[in-house]
Amino acid sequence: MLDVLINILSWIFLLAGGAFGVIGGLGMVRFPDFYTRLHAAGVTDTLCALLIVLGLVLQSGFSLLTIKLLLILLFLLFTAPTATHALARAAMVDGLEPGDQQDPPDMVERDRETKPQGEPSSNT
Amino acid sequence: MNRLAFSLTLLLAALWLAVSGVYKPVILALGVASVALVVWLSVRMRVIGVEHNPVLFSWRLPAYWFWLIKRIFWANIQVTRRVFRPDSIKPAVIKVPVPQKTSVGKVTYGNSCTLTPGTVTLRLTREELTAHVLDDESARDLTDGSMAEKICWLEGNTEPKR
């Protein structure tokens, strides 16, 4: 009985993790510019990974494998923000300005002329 | 220095035992050799006193992680709602003060900010954190100063004497 409960809980975690992974990917497509897309990627980096690892921990039972899985999660949570920050920094240094909606209208206009809407992150 | 080398040895040995799982004499000897090699290299490279930080061994760290995971969970829900209604986002760049005293505390602030979906650290100096936020609610997460306060608490009594 307990086995079944743990299994069900584990599947809920794994499926929810997968769903958040898809949501993160969806956000990457739907958000308008590079910086907002970073936030969508953040969903995949954090909650998706967290839920999947928790689901796997429940699947593995309490053993050495649990420690390994939690270590993977720990390293992931340390490296993911570093990578995200490196990306954001690289974009800033490259001169890509955040598409700020609080800009005065003429500035938004100028942005639209210099940068084609929809694909500001493709000018590598 | 000796005390730090000793604690590093213990930590590495515990890590090796935790991820190995094969406890045969030959394998154990290899483990001892690799731990010894890493400690010797760390001492030789003089990174042992620099990278080592007392915050790492405080009971406050697990408490902070638990708090941060709760925070990350709600931020994820918020960003998920924005994904389904992408017109409702209001991206902005905000600056908040960095009240932490130690450099590890400041970096923890920057990293925690990036780790929370909805806020990404663009630039971190000694006094100021520049962040890109997805909407007003994400901005409030930073500007209300609760995260900065929590990390100051994490620094707490374990702050190294200067």
Total number of domains constituting chain B: 2
Q: Show contacts of A99-105: CB within 8 Å, 24+ apart.
A: A99/A32, A99/A33, A99/A35, A99/A36, A99/B91, A100/B91, A100/B92, A100/B93, A101/B90, A101/B91, A101/B92, A102/B92
Structural domain for B27, as ranges: 2-52
Per-residue pLDDT tens over the stretch B108-129:
899 999 999 889 998 888 888 9
Of residues A26, A33, A80, nearest to B115 (C-beta): A80
Instruction: Check CB contact under 8 Å for A43 and B134.
Output: no
Candidates B104, B120, B123, B142, partner chain A, best to mutate (most A CBs within 10 A): B120
Q: Which residues between 52 and 81 in chain B have a beta carbon less than 8 angstroms from any beta carbon of chain A? A: 69, 72-73, 76, 79-80
pLDDT at A101: 45
Q: Tens of pLDDT along B67-96?
A: 999 999 999 999 999 899 888 888 888 899
Flag whether residue A68 sits within 8 Å of chain B, measured between CB atoms. yes
Same domain, B144 and B109: yes
pTM over 0.80: no
For residues B109 and B124, state if they share a domain. yes
Predicted ipTM > 0.95: no
Residues B37 and B66 both lie in one domain? no
> Does B62 share its domain with B22?
no
